[in-house]
Amino acid sequence: MPEKYRFLTGYMKTFKGGVSLPEHKDLTVDKKIRPIPPPFEMILPLGQHTGAPNKPLVNPGDSVKVGQCIGKAEAFISAPLHSPVSGTVKAIKDIFNPIYGKKPAIIIENNGKDTPVSFIKREDPESLPKEELIAIIKDAGLVGLGGAAFPTHVKMNIPKGKTIDTLIVNGAECEPYLTCDHRLMVERTGEILKGVYLVASILNAKNIFLAIEENKLSAIFAMEKATVQMKKEFHGKQIQIIVLKTKYPQGGEKQLIKAVLKREVPPGKLPLDVGVVVQNAGTCFAIYEAVYKGKPLIERCVTFTGKCLREPGNFTVKIGTPLKDVVGHCGGFTETPAKIIAGGPIMGIAQYSLDIPIIKGITGIVFISKKDLEIYEELPCIRCGKCVDICPVNLMPTDIGRMVKYSRWHYLDELHPSDCMECGACAYICPSRVPLVQYIKLAKIKESERK
């Protein structure tokens, strides 16, 4: 960390609570984004986002092209799916989806020719009407690339009667190990900014903030330089760079809004209820690609990292690439990993095998070595109150955990477990290793059953 930026400490914005984590980002932070060529067999799960799954538009035996829509989005909260390669559909069968369990997927054999459908390039998309831009984003199958994979077009459709005054671009990337957004902000600075301006013009947002954690100085510098250079290009509209304190979960929507604007999103409400839309920096890059280049979401930047990889790094990976084909491009393993996590090590999901495909919502894959593996046992809660001190949404995780453990369901009403966003900071800090997130998830289920 260069010392010259430490003076910013006083100006860094943040929220109340949260935890400081060991970052482990040095493994990949300097690694340039490299493309990984698609392998012979691609696995494309039908349903890689929050919302309704896709309906397949192809049958086994059909030939497909790069960018061809192969999965239809039928509901409003859904996003279409496109083929990342050209080739033949081999089968539609159930596979293990890294996030959503055993779900059907389209298996495509890559013919290696990369024959694309014609992508419509647009020179001056800002002149297009809003509705058309949202339609382009929807048809490109864009989802939030920060991990939640919420369909992007839904976020851009502001219901009547609501106004958005602020767009916050999320460059916090607060999970340890992950560096894909950081690298995108350094290497695709101009493209991200063009995407940001598009989103801002669709939303009619007066203020645009780009919030980056203080541990990503190279991204902060690159963005500060580019915003000044590109000011003319965007009719004087100014993006403000916000330096955030490095703290988990700084990248959570509610925490980000609190840190940047001091606004709190009420329970059960959305950011747009307080006039804000938050978009991830990587999503803004994908929006640029979709609108300017006409390219649907068929690839994304992913961090493959961990001490077991010989060459960890940041890669552009085609959606649907099986994990086992990625490992070779990272130099192979120095030792067999003990645990594989899809996502970051706090909110990520442990994986059974290397056969899972990279899907839209995967920000990174962390390979944990045997030495770093944490095997723990739940001990009795000693009521130290650390979870209460750090909970970013002011809950009392220890009390919720205790009530769930002893089935005191009626006490849960006053403890509001539904406010929890499952960031896992409480479970991280717990000296007794109580699986608080799982208790709270159970509390949420019981709460909805009781209503």
Partner 1 sequence: MENNFYISQGPHQFTNTSVQKMMKDVIIALAPAIFASIYFFRIRAVILFAVSIVSCMAFEAIFQLFMKRKITILDGSAVVTGMLLAMIMPPSLPIWTCIVGSLVAIGLAKQLFGGLGANIFNPALLGRAFLMAAFPTYMTRWNMPFTLDAVTGATPLGLVKFTQNLNINYQELFIGRVSGSLGETSALALIIGGIYLLIKKTIDWCIPLAYIATVFVISSVTNMIAPDTYAGAVFHVLAGGLLIGAIFMATDPVTSPVTKTGRWVFGIGCGLITMIIRLWGGLPEGVMYSILLMNAVTPLLNRLTRPRRYGT
Q: Are the C-beta atoms of 190 and 281 separated by less than 8 Å?
A: no
- Least distance in Å: CB of 73 to partner 1? 29
- Least distance in Å: CB of 205 to partner 1? 21
Residue 307: other Cβ atoms inside 10 A: 17
- Least distance in Å: CB of 95 to partner 1? 14
How far apart (Å, rounded) are the C-alpha atoms in residues 406 and 315? 46
Q: Parallel, antiparallel, or unpaired: how do β-strands 313-318 and 34-36 relate?
A: parallel
Closest to partner 1 by CB, 178 vs 200, is 178
Closest to partner 1 by CB, 253 vs 299, is 253
Q: Please report which helix (H) or strand (E) contains residue 286, including its range.
A: helix 281-292
Identify residue 303 by its one-letter amino acid code: T
Closest to partner 1 by CB, 37 vs 385, is 385
Q: Parallel, antiparallel, or unpaired: how do β-strands 166-171 and 299-305 relate?
A: unpaired
How far apart (Å, rounded) are the C-alpha atoms in residues 47 and 36? 23
How far apart (Å, rounded) are the C-alpha atoms in residues 208 and 86? 39
Closest to partner 1 by CB, 157 vs 432, is 432
Closest to partner 1 by CB, 269 vs 450, is 269
- Least distance in Å: CB of 365 to partner 1? 12
Closest to partner 1 by CB, 298 vs 430, is 430
CA distances from 347 to 363, 394, 440 (A): 11, 19, 14
Residue 338: other Cβ atoms inside 10 A: 16
- Least distance in Å: CB of 47 to partner 1? 21
Q: Are the C-beta atoms of 248 and 391 separated by less than 8 Å?
A: no
CA distances from 190 to 89, 136, 217, 229 (A): 36, 20, 17, 10
Nearest 10 degrees: CA dihedral of 148, 149, 150, 153? 150
Closest to partner 1 by CB, 60 vs 332, is 332
Closest to partner 1 by CB, 152 vs 363, is 363
- Least distance in Å: CB of 25 to partner 1? 13
Cis peptide before 267 (omega within 30 of 0): no
- Least distance in Å: CB of 104 to partner 1? 21
- Least distance in Å: CB of 362 to partner 1? 15
Sign of CA dihedral 305, 343, 99, 375: positive
Closest to partner 1 by CB, 326 vs 427, is 427
How far apart (Å, rounded) are the C-alpha atoms in residues 349 and 334? 22
- Least distance in Å: CB of 227 to partner 1? 31
Residue with tokens 């009719």: 235
Question: Where along the sequence are the contacts to partner 1 (CB under 8 A)?
Answer: 19, 21-22, 176, 254, 264-267, 269, 336-341, 345-355, 366, 368, 373-376, 379-385, 388-389, 391-396, 398-399, 414, 416, 419, 424, 427-433, 435, 437-438
Closest to partner 1 by CB, 177 vs 197, is 177
- Least distance in Å: CB of 101 to partner 1? 13
Q: Are the C-beta atoms of 255 and 276 separated by less than 8 Å?
A: no
Q: Are the C-beta atoms of 412 and 260 separated by less than 8 Å?
A: no
